[in-house]
Structure formats: C-alpha cells, structure tokens
Structure 1
Amino acid sequence: MIKESLVYAFKKSTMYRANMISWFLADLALYISTFLCYFILGKSVSNFGGYSANEILLYISCFFLVNNIYAIFFSESVSKYGGSIINGLLDYELLKPKSLVVNFIIKNINFAPALSTPLLMILNYYCLKLCNANISIIYILSIICGSLTMGIMFFIVYSIALFGIRAEAISNIVVQLLTIGEKPDSVFPKAIQNLLLYVIPVFLFSALPTRIALCKIDSLNLLWIFLAPVIYIFILKVIMSLGLKKYQSGVE
C-alpha cells in the first residue's frame, strides 16, 4: 500500500513537467536572491545581531533546507487535508486502515521541491565550511526535526477546520510568522524569542540548527529540538480526536 501511494505521488508530481520546472525556477530565484543579498551585505556589515557574516549565511541556509524538506513532504499533504475537511472527502480517508496524517503525507509527497534539495545541501555544506563547522548526526537530526515540527504545526492549524472554523486565515498568519525565521533571533527581545521558539517555533527552523553547528547551543534548547515534534504530534492527536467528534461532512 505504501509503495503504491509513493508511485501515485510520483506520477502526480511529474505529470506536468512544466509545473515542476516552474516550481524549481521559482525556488531557485528565491534562494539565490536571498542568499546573495546577505552575502553582499556581509561584505560591509560584520555583525548581524551577534552572528558574523559567515554565520548568518549558515543561518539562512539552515532555514532554506528545513523549509525545502517541509515542502517535499508536507506542502501538498496539509493543503489536501484541509481541503478534504471542507469538501467532505475526509470521510473516505477515515475509512482507510493507515493513520490519517501518514496517509495524506504518503499520497501527497511533492517531488518538485526535491529538484532544489541537492543545491541547498551543497549550499549548506559550503556555509558550514565557511564557519569551520562540521556536519554531525545531531545537526542532521535537528534539520529533520525542524521540518517535521513545521509540518505537524500546519496539520494542527488545518485541523481547526474540524470544529467548523476557517483555517485559511490562521494558516496565512503562520506563514507570515515563518518568514521571521530568516531573521537573526538575537535581535528580538527575550520574551519574543521565547514565544517564537517554544510556542510558534519559527527559530527551531533556523537558529537552533545553526547553534548546534557552531557548538553554541545550551542543553535546554538541544532538548527542545527533539521534544518539540513529540509535543506537537501529541497536540495534533488531541485536536483531531476532539475535532472528529464535532466534524460534519462537507461543512466549513
């Protein structure tokens, strides 16, 4: 069943090659323009809220990589999940034996963003070398946990629709908040840093992986990297359990 779902997702993603190419070019333009902006700015500015010119490049590349992995595994699945709640197709998904969330992820893997992944991995490796940092297992796991947390966070947002609440507006707010993850966390007041790390964990996608690579992370934040996805999965299960009791097919 998993194999068939993956084949289906691949065929769906590659059906329209023009869409794949346009997605790749759009990603490429975004990543290169943002990176070059910080790269050029780093020639005249040596300190970015406590990060050096090279460290801020690593910071940005970590955020890019987390976001890219999210786009592959979650961008389509959370959209389809939210749509199925509104149009009533969720009823059919509930009849399937696999986990509801796992089923949506496997069937809706988006292979188009994967075209950018090798480039982003090379870029991230280049930034690590600029900072004299090495790749570690914990660093790799922090990138994976960041992507997983981002994905589960959006599943939580769209699960609000189970209660008859419009989730699109909340999703748009979260998307805007995610852009803060590109900014150095240290420029924000401590209260805002904590809010954007432990409540809406946008700095989990950039600041914490960077600190791991630079060996500047404390024990609490290191624990939070691996604890965050577990907590968010628990929250998602609770919301879905309560929401499915209130859910009315095809009613927003």
Structure 2
Amino acid sequence: MNEILKEIRKHCFIYLLIAKNCLIGQMEYRFNFVMGFFIEFMWLFVRILYVIVAYQTNIVINGLTPDAVLLYTGTYSIIIGVYTGLFGHNFYELPEHIRNGTLDTLITKPISLQFIITLRNINFSWPLSDVIGGITMVVLAWNRLGINVNIINIVGFSGLILSGILISYSVFLLPRIFSFWLVKTNAITSISEELHGFNRMPYLIYNKWIQRIGIFVLPIFLVANFPPLFVLHRLSYIYILWGIVAPILFGFIVRMVWNAGIRNYTSASS
C-alpha cells in the first residue's frame, strides 16, 4: 500500500510540473493562445445556437424543456473543454509516436508510459471558453429550473461530471491504442470523435436500442447525459451505480488493451 501511495504522489508531482511547464510554454506564444481560445469560442457559439433554437421553438424533448437543454449543453461544454485541454492533443499524437519511433525514448522513462503518453501535454487555451461558458450555462439553467442547491445535488452532479471525464479518457483513447496493431487508424478514430457529439443533445431523443448501446456497451451517453439527469431526478439508482462502476471498468479494459499493445510494439530501431 505504501508503494502505491508513493507512486501516486510521484505521478501527481510530475503532473503538476507538466502543467506548470505547459502553461509557461504557451504564455511565450500568446497570439497562439488567443487564437486557440477564439477558435474554441466559435465552437461554443455553435452549441449555443442549438439552445437558442430550442428556446425559440419552445421544444420539449421527452419532458425536457429548453432550460433542461441549456443544462445539457453547459454540462457537455464543460466536459468537452476538459477533454480537449487534457487529453485531445495527447491522444492525437499516440499513433505518430508509434509510427515515427519516438515511443522508443518515452518507453525508457522511469514512469508509467500510459501516463506520460496520454497526459504529457496540457492545452490551457482550448478549454478556457468551453469551461467558463459551460459553467455559466449550468448556473443559469440550474436557477431557471429551480433545482435545489444542496450537498446531494452538488456532489452528485460534480461526481458524475468527473465520471464523464474519466469515461471520455477511456472510450476515446481505446481506438488510438489500435495503432499498435494497425498502420492507420484514421477511420476508427474519426468515428470515435464523432461519437462524442452524441452528447450535445439528451440521449432520450434516440431509440431504446441506441440508448442501451450508448450506456452499457460503448458508454458515450455517460459522458454528459448523467449529470443533468441526476439533478433533474430522472436518473435511476441502477444508472447512478453504473455511472460509478463504468469509469473503473472501462479504465481497467483500456489498461489491459494498452499493456497488450505495448507487448506487441516493435521498436523502430529493431
């Protein structure tokens, strides 16, 4: 147990150093930082247009009002912001590391290879607009929906957002890991990235089979659907439990597939 805690502390310390160095590096190129913020703001604006349309048409989706759609959009924006800032660039580079042989250098480091490959680059400009805009939308929707501000709602909502972030890590890293076996994974990864967009709207708009697949088989609907449903009291105890178990289960699956990929990896110098 002491060894495990020691490793956790070491990796947390290293991650803080990574965050510090990434922030310093990005502040040296402030124009790029501002442009990254502006581009992501444009994507946020597109999502806001969906909400505007919902209010203008006063659409009700399976009992969910435009205010609930605003809550969904805000939640999705927070999670997609964190995903793009912490994981997006790292996942994109994984196939390149494998093809170009730069993995050879990283594999010799006295630290978890999965950790350093998937978390070594943090982009602070990309998530800024999404997270700030997302939190603003959540607060507005929370108030308009009259949701109680209590410990249960705050902890449950925050915990399921964390669950969604962890699910994003596992589900969208998995297709990239196939690069250990396949020369090109562009088609697979493009499809997986498109699946992320399914969370822009409540999963209740899809038929039952798509809902079940998106919850239990490939849990993309856990990413941004469960937190709003929880505070709206429309999430069953089974789904709450699954929201806790799924990140652990899929994290374990990704770890096994990762280890299998590393065993299959052939050094570029071989």
Q: TM-score, normalised by structure 2?
A: 0.85
- Displacement of 1:76 in angstroms is 1.6
Question: How many pairs does the alignment contain?
Answer: 251
Asked if residue 210 in structure 1 is aligned to residue 228 in structure 2, the reply is: yes
Identity across the alignment (%)? 22
- Displacement of 1:250 in angstroms is 4.1
Residue matched to 1:70: 83
Amino acid at match of 1:77: N
- Retained in 2: the 8 A contact 1:49–1:184? no
Asked if residue 24 in structure 1 is aligned to residue 24 in structure 2, the reply is: no
Cα-to-partner distance string for 1:8-52 (whole Å, 9 max, x where unaligned): 222333332222212211222221232233234323223123311
Once structures 1 and 2 are overlaid, which stretch shifts more, 69-78 or 161-170? 161-170
Amino acid at match of 1:198: F
* Cα-Cα RMSD: 2.0
- Displacement of 1:235 in angstroms is 1.0
1:124 corresponds, among 126, 138, 141, to: 138
Structure with the bigger RCO (C-alpha within 8 Å, sep 6+) is 1
1:104 corresponds, among 91, 112, 117, to: 117
- Retained in 2: the 8 A contact 1:145–1:225? yes
- Displacement of 1:165 in angstroms is 4.5
Asked if residue 242 in structure 1 is aligned to residue 255 in structure 2, the reply is: no
Cα distance, 1:154–1:4 mapped onto 2, change above 3 Å: same
Amino acid at match of 1:42: Y
Distance 1:162 1:4 in 2: 29
Distance 2:21 2:30 in 1: 16
Distance 2:193 2:214 in 1: 13
- Retained in 2: the 8 A contact 1:196–1:203? yes
Q: Can you give the 5+ residue segments of structure 1 that lack an aligned partner in the other structure? A: none
Asked if residue 48 in structure 1 is aligned to residue 61 in structure 2, the reply is: yes
Residue matched to 2:9: none
2:208 corresponds, among 175, 180, 190, to: 190
Distance 1:190 1:148 in 2: 25
Distance 1:65 1:150 in 2: 12
- Displacement of 1:216 in angstroms is 1.4
Amino acid at match of 1:101: Q
Residue matched to 2:185: 167
Amino acid at match of 2:134: L
- Retained in 2: the 8 A contact 1:146–1:204? yes
Distance 1:187 1:195 in 2: 14
Amino acid at match of 2:141: C
Amino acid at match of 1:163: W
Residue matched to 1:5: 18
Cα distance, 1:250–1:232 mapped onto 2, change above 3 Å: farther
1:220 corresponds, among 238, 241, 245, to: 238
Cα distance, 1:114–1:63 mapped onto 2, change above 3 Å: closer
Once structures 1 and 2 are overlaid, which stretch shifts more, 45-54 or 5-14? 5-14
Runs of 4+ in structure 1 displaced over 4 angstroms?
none
3-state SS of the aligned residue for 2:62? coil
Distance 2:94 2:24 in 1: 19
Cα-to-partner distance string for 1:63-105 (whole Å, 9 max, x where unaligned): 1111111112101221222321121111221111222222234
